[in-house]
């Protein structure tokens, strides 16, 4: 597989991880149930005329598991990056899911933090194409990355 192909599969894994974390929070389902649903009915599947893209399943699972297992740590990092009046509990649930997936990748992978920031800002642009959220995501993730991996800066 080419580097471009691997990047695309990882990018899709990140996008699915954000969606899965959002769905988990909204539905109250377990990580196992959400993972099973995504791996069976979404990632690489075709349903009702919709073709879902392939993804790096290993990366998807790692982001999901790390985000769930280290949620308190990631949320605390996010809180420190947010304005005092806006703790993570008050922000949009899509952004919360995005910060948790990005935080998981910053903490538990060797992906360079600047790559993590760029990738998740692009995901924010997909979810919020007309809003200011991508700039907000960039600022918060930069702060989180400097805390999680200061040696990279």
pLDDT at 1: 57
pLDDT at 84: 67
Assign 131 to helix, strand or coil.
coil
CATH of the domain at 71: 1.10.940.10
pLDDT at 52: 86
Q: How many domains does the chain have?
A: 1
Question: Distance between alpha carbon 71 and the CA centroid of its chain, in Å?
Answer: 12
Domain that holds residue 103: 3-152
Q: What is the pTM of this model?
A: 0.92
**What does the pLDDT look like over 42-78, one tens digit per residue?**
999 887 787 889 999 999 999 999 999 999 999 999 9
**What does the pLDDT look like over 73-118, one tens digit per residue?**
999 999 999 876 677 778 999 999 999 999 999 999 999 999 999 9
From the list 3, 101, 1, 26, the residue with the least C-alpha distance to 61 is 101
pLDDT at 137: 95
């Amino acid at each position: 597989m080419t580097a471009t192909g691997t990047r695309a599969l990882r990018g899709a894994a990140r996008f699915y991880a954000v969606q899965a974390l959002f769905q988990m929070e909204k539905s109250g389902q377990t990580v196992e149930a959400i993972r099973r649903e995504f791996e069976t009915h979404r990632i690489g599947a075709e349903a009702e005329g919709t073709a879902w893209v392939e993804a790096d399943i290993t990366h998807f699972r790692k982001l999901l598991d790390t985000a769930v297992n280290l949620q308190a740590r990631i949320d605390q990092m996010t809180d420190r990056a947010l304005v005092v009046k806006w703790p993570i509990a008050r922000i949009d649930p899509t952004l919360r899911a995005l910060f948790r997936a990005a935080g998981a990748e910053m903490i538990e992978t060797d992906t360079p933090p600047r790559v993590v920031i760029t990738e998740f800002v692009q995901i924010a642009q997909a979810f919020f194409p007309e809003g200011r959220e991508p700039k907000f995501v960039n600022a918060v993730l930069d702060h989180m990355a400097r805390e999680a991996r200061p040696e990279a800066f």
